[in-house]
Chain A
Amino acid sequence: MAGPRTHRQKEIRRHLWIYGLITPYIIIAVFPIYWMAITAFKQDPDLYRMDVFPLWFHLAPTWKHFSYLFTDTNYGAWIINTMVIAAWVAVITLLAAVPAGYALARLRIPGAENLGIAIFMTYLVPAIILFLPLARVVSMLGLQDSWWALVLVYPTITIPFCTWLLMGFFKTVPVEMEEAARVDGCGYLGALVRVVLPVSIPGILTAVIFAFTLSMQDFLYGLAFVAPGDQKPVTVGVPTELIRGDVFFWGSLMAAALMVGLPVAILYNFFLDRFIQGITGGAGK
């Protein structure tokens, strides 16, 4: 009886230690989101006072800031813009990255590894070096002042990353499946479309998620290329359009931030390990 009990006590003590040590990290990580959330639901008189405990409500919570966003600002349009941009970016990314990833993983192209790394490295050429020349490209194509500019430039981030990711993924598909398909009379294209793609749905979905989350991380391109208020993606519209002059409407700003941030953070959370695997080069190994 004594044995397991001391073991259990030891385990409990160990857990208390770990929780105690890790709590500050959790608070640091989560507090800004908590602050965002509580601000979004507070009435204005409750917001701008320093005499009471600020981390809880002193007047009834309100939806006012949320409804204001949809009735008095372009918030709805920004959300739709973001969704449409993400959909186009995902389509373009898949059309380019799926074939490229497959070719690099499977078709024994001379120097495939180096070519794959070269494509991946372009993911690292920072936007701050490319945005001025791209501004010229965008205006030459007549895309300035519309979100189509972002449909054009976001794939420069997502294609390199997703090609690399899918290259790793296709390497894990058993070669025998393709060989069997080819023996059965499929050409290379037939084997790709009928055999490899169906078993690669998880990898392709992951690539779609990254096309979405990586474009959501952009700020510079959206800021530089899209000026009209109703054309902006939500990640640029919220910080640039909802702040007018020196007046900050923190309630609605935080409501806007919360509604975008939370879903994206949760979605990204599930795919974070794939992202880390991808960039550390062990994609799909």
Chain B
Amino acid sequence: MTLSSSSGGPDAAGARAAAISVASRARASGWFRSQTARRLSFGYLLLAPAVLYVLLLVGAPFVFSLYLSLSDANVGDPVATFVGLGNFRAALESDVFYIALQNSIVFTVVGAIFKGLLGTTLAFLLLQPFWGRKFVRGLVVIPFTLPISISVLSWKWMYDSQFSVINWFLSRIGLVGSYGSPDWPVWLGQPHLALAACIIVNVWRTFPFSAIVLLAGFTSVPPEILDAARVDGTSFMQRFRFVVVPMIAPILLIGFLFDTVFTLSDLSIVYLLTQGGPANATKILPVLAYQVGIQAGALGRGAAISLFLFPLLMPLMILLLRNLRRREY
């Protein structure tokens, strides 16, 4: 087709040369296209195992949990019938659900405030150059690196009703009386103390994480940019406000969202310390979902309860997604 236009040349040799070049270009683009196809099919082949695993064992179960929550599925009885929104209605009509929801929110919000405070102050200390900093850093991150179910055990022992080392210390400095006196705190046995005890363990476990994320944020700000800003005659506060904060904000937000998702959905601390007691004082949604779904065997109702976490988590995840994308480009 292009041959006819190029054959308008003065001699046949020119036309032949043009024809050859067109043909080889066509061959080249065919070669290129097949290379692309080969590259892409190889790529999709490599992606397949990971994508399939995640689709089959995260995607499908998620859809399945929606289905479960609409059925009366039970551990003993494999034949489930559709009950519509009955499970959700049952949850919303039970007092314990509201207690669990409230406790979950208190647990997450109060915990976030304290780990934010401890984490920020620790990060500023670790930002200073000093002798042995690496070692100190290694020590303070231990709570975050210990397997959670293991470290909770140590706390359970520290909260022991009789031999609590915390109480030994408190009574030694005179804040509480001796064992048996009315102001002897029974950490896991008194409602308000029990919730506080669970929050303390959560804060203890994750404040190093807050500090390290903040530290990663600070060290990601290139010193040249700060120098440039200094040369431009900005004050320390201006540099902090207009250079440091905008640069580390996405990292901080990502760290915060991560922690919130894990704190909201974590079962192990409360389950191992109090099982939700005394008198539901520490019952949070994950514990309730586990107790209803597995211990009582009401899969459908358990699924409905755990799905109530989703509207709480969803906005956080969307924010996180947007921030990750912004960081990528």
Tell me the A residues contacting B by CB distance below 8 Å: 14-15, 18-19, 21-22, 25-26, 28-30, 32-33, 35-36, 39, 47-50, 54-55, 92, 95-97, 99-100, 102-104, 107-109, 113-115, 117, 119-122, 124-137, 152-153, 155-156, 159-160, 163, 188-189, 213, 216-217, 219-220, 223-224, 235-236, 238-239, 248, 250, 253-254, 257, 260-261, 264-266, 268-269, 272-273, 276-277, 279-282
A254 to B155 CA separation, bound complex (whole angstroms) = 11
CB distance from A52 to the nearest CB of B (A): 10
Among A21, A39, A99, A261, contact of B125 (Cβ-Cβ < 8 Å):
A21
- B24 CB–A CB distance under 8 Å: no
Check A109 against B216 for contact (C-beta < 8 Å). no
A48 to B164 CA separation, bound complex (whole angstroms) = 10
Q: Which 7 A-B pairs have the closest CB atoms?
A: A126-B265, A107-B43, A100-B50, A99-B46, A268-B145, A133-B61, A103-B46
A279 to B250 CA separation, bound complex (whole angstroms) = 12
- B138 CB–A CB distance under 8 Å: yes
A279 to B306 CA separation, bound complex (whole angstroms) = 24
- Residues of chain A contacted by B146 (CB below 8 angstroms): 33, 261, 264-265
Among B143, B145, B208, B289, contact of A264 (Cβ-Cβ < 8 Å):
B145
Tell whether A282 pairs with B147 under 8 Å between CB atoms, given A33-B142, A125-B62.
Answer: no
CB distance from B134 to the nearest CB of A (A): 10
Q: Which residues of chain B in 122-170 are interfacial with respect to chain A, using CB atoms and an 8 Å cutoff?
A: 122, 125-126, 128, 130-131, 136, 138-158, 160, 162-163, 165, 168
Check A277 against B216 for contact (C-beta < 8 Å). yes
- B232 CB–A CB distance under 8 Å: no
- Residues of chain A contacted by B59 (CB below 8 angstroms): 122
Check A109 against B149 for contact (C-beta < 8 Å). no
Check A100 against B51 for contact (C-beta < 8 Å). yes
Among B157, B216, B293, contact of A248 (Cβ-Cβ < 8 Å):
B157
20 chain-A/chain-B pairs, Cβ below 8 angstroms: A22-B125, A28-B204, A33-B151, A35-B157, A50-B178, A99-B49, A100-B49, A103-B43, A108-B43, A113-B325, A117-B325, A117-B328, A126-B262, A132-B294, A132-B303, A133-B62, A137-B64, A188-B38, A261-B146, A280-B254
CB distance from A141 to the nearest CB of B (A): 11
- Residues of chain B contacted by A281 (CB below 8 angstroms): 250, 254, 323-324, 327-328
Q: Is the interface of A mostly helix, strand, loop or mixed?
A: helix
- Residues of chain B contacted by A261 (CB below 8 angstroms): 146-147, 150-151
- When C-beta atoms are compared, the residue in chain A nearest to B327 turns out to be A281
CB distance from B310 to the nearest CB of A (A): 7
Check B163 against A122 for contact (C-beta < 8 Å). no
- Residues of chain B contacted by A30 (CB below 8 angstroms): 139-140, 142
Tell whether A124 pairs with B261 under 8 Å between CB atoms, given A95-B49, A135-B294, A163-B50.
Answer: yes
A96 to B55 CA separation, bound complex (whole angstroms) = 13
- Residues of chain A contacted by B47 (CB below 8 angstroms): 99-100, 103-104, 109, 115
Check A29 against B142 for contact (C-beta < 8 Å). yes
- B302 CB–A CB distance under 8 Å: yes
- When C-beta atoms are compared, the residue in chain A nearest to B145 turns out to be A268
Check B294 against A29 for contact (C-beta < 8 Å). no
The number of A-B residue pairs with CB atoms under 8 Å apart is 291
Q: Which residues of chain B in 27-66 are interfacial with respect to chain A, using CB atoms and an 8 Å cutoff?
A: 38-40, 42-47, 49-51, 53-54, 57-62, 64-65
Check B149 against A133 for contact (C-beta < 8 Å). no
Check B149 against A253 for contact (C-beta < 8 Å). no
Check B149 against A224 for contact (C-beta < 8 Å). no
Check A135 against B147 for contact (C-beta < 8 Å). no
- Residues of chain B contacted by A124 (CB below 8 angstroms): 258, 261, 317, 320
- When C-beta atoms are compared, the residue in chain A nearest to B171 turns out to be A50
- Residues of chain A contacted by B136 (CB below 8 angstroms): 22, 26
Check A276 against B216 for contact (C-beta < 8 Å). yes
Tell whether A109 pairs with B310 under 8 Å between CB atoms, given A124-B317, A265-B145.
Answer: no
- Residues of chain A contacted by B42 (CB below 8 angstroms): 103, 107, 188-189
A260 to B154 CA separation, bound complex (whole angstroms) = 13
Check A269 against B142 for contact (C-beta < 8 Å). yes
- When C-beta atoms are compared, the residue in chain A nearest to B287 turns out to be A128
Among B64, B251, B264, B324, contact of A136 (Cβ-Cβ < 8 Å):
B64
Among B39, B268, B303, contact of A220 (Cβ-Cβ < 8 Å):
B268
- Residues of chain B contacted by A159 (CB below 8 angstroms): 50, 53-54
- B68 CB–A CB distance under 8 Å: yes
- Residues of chain A contacted by B234 (CB below 8 angstroms): none
Check B309 against A126 for contact (C-beta < 8 Å). yes
Given A188-B38, A238-B150, 16 further pairs, Cβ under 8 A: A18-B130, A32-B204, A36-B157, A48-B163, A54-B168, A55-B165, A113-B325, A113-B329, A128-B306, A133-B65, A136-B73, A216-B147, A257-B153, A264-B146, A280-B251, A280-B255
CB distance from B90 to the nearest CB of A (A): 16
Check B267 against A119 for contact (C-beta < 8 Å). no
CB distance from A74 to the nearest CB of B (A): 16
B286-309 Cβ-contact flags toward A at 8 Å (1 or 0)? 100110011000010011001101
Among B131, B145, B258, B286, contact of A15 (Cβ-Cβ < 8 Å):
B131
Check A96 against B309 for contact (C-beta < 8 Å). no
A94 to B60 CA separation, bound complex (whole angstroms) = 22
- B212 CB–A CB distance under 8 Å: yes
